[in-house]
Amino acid sequence: MSNTAIITGAGSGLGQATAVRLAKEGVNIVAVDISEKGGNETVEMVKSLGVDAIFVKADVSKPEEVKNYVDQAVDRFGTIDYFFNNAGISGSGAFFLDSSIEEINRNVGINLLGALYGVRYVAEVMLKNGGGSIVNTSSSAGVIGQDSVVTYSATKHGIVGLTKSMVAEYAKDGLRVNAIAPGPTETPMVKAFYEANPEMKANATSGIPQKRLGTPEEVAELVTFLLTSKAQYINGEVIRIDGGFTNTK
């Protein structure tokens, strides 16, 4: 019987690359995204690899929509083995005191509350079925402080706390929860952020010891490893994948 993964933010970037990588391992995919076009594109990509997949449209900042994608996954596939809790937004790049309250609320709603809701409903299913594996997407801004992303950084530090504390409570019940902390990566979200803030791309690239941005495919390899049975004794870790970026901070 094939395993099943839910991936949020599956319509592009890290989510889409991970969906494709997991599909190559024979994993069925529940692709969750706010974008119908991107989500359906991912479903087509993974189905072409011989696995089953469905798309569920969701605004992850709304708990009822999070519960719906979990319910639809269970209805279609019976259980949830893996969860890549990945949906997120970057923000405008404005300094914190220039950020609107609306932007702060939106960032917290999607990046932090959306992640909390996802773990809340997915872990409930996993624990009923003997366990499962979750990977949460933090960021280099979740392990160090960075300017121009104060709210984003706060949410991504929150992801680290979510990851470690879930392990403290539920590892004994068969749950594994890890987090990734990608540095600047060639995703549509990051590209859009750098197009709006071009000076920050030059600063970021020059500050990465490997002198390049990461790729979604490189991150997908790490996520796939952490989710699957190859990483059974890795739990509560926050693994940086940033070309050495935060190592120099």
Q: What tens digit of pLDDT does each residue of 206-220 get?
A: 889 999 999 999 999
Determine whether 145 is exposed, middle or buried from the number of CB atoms within 10 Å of its CB (0-12, 13-18, 19+): exposed
Band (pLDDT 50/70/90 cuts) for residue 202 is confident
Tell me if residue 178 falls in helix, strand or coil: strand
Return the structure tokens found at 47: 């189905």
Q: Is residue 201 a contact partner of residue 194, using CB atoms and an 8 Å limit?
A: yes
Lookup result for tokens 């949830």: 80
Is the pLDDT assigned to residue 92 strictly greater than 80? Answer: yes
Name the residue ranges covered by the structural domains of the chain. 4-241
Furthest CA-CA distance within the chain: 52
Task: Determine the length of the chain.
Answer: 249
Instruction: Reply yes or no on whether 194 is catalytic.
Output: no
Tell me if residue 39 falls in helix, strand or coil: helix
Its CATH architecture, for the domain 4-241, is 3-Layer(aba) Sandwich (3.40)
Return the structure tokens found at 244: 């050495």
pLDDT of residue 189: 79
Band (pLDDT 50/70/90 cuts) for residue 1 is confident
Residue at 192: amino acid letter: A
Band (pLDDT 50/70/90 cuts) for residue 57 is very high
Kindly state the percentage of the chain with pLDDT values over 70.
100
Global pTM reads: 0.95
Span of 12-21, 148-157, 186-195 with lowest mean pLDDT: 186-195
Rounded Cα gap, residues 192 and 196, in angstroms: 6
Among the listed residues 69, 152, 170, 194, the single catalytic one is 152
Backbone torsion region of residue 91, taken as left when φ is above 0, otherwise alpha when ψ lies between -120 and 50, otherwise beta:
left
Band (pLDDT 50/70/90 cuts) for residue 16 is very high
Span of 86-90, 195-199, 216-220, 244-248 with lowest mean pLDDT: 195-199
Mean pLDDT of the chain: 95
pLDDT of residue 206: 81
Return the structure tokens found at 124: 């409930």
Residue at 245: amino acid letter: F
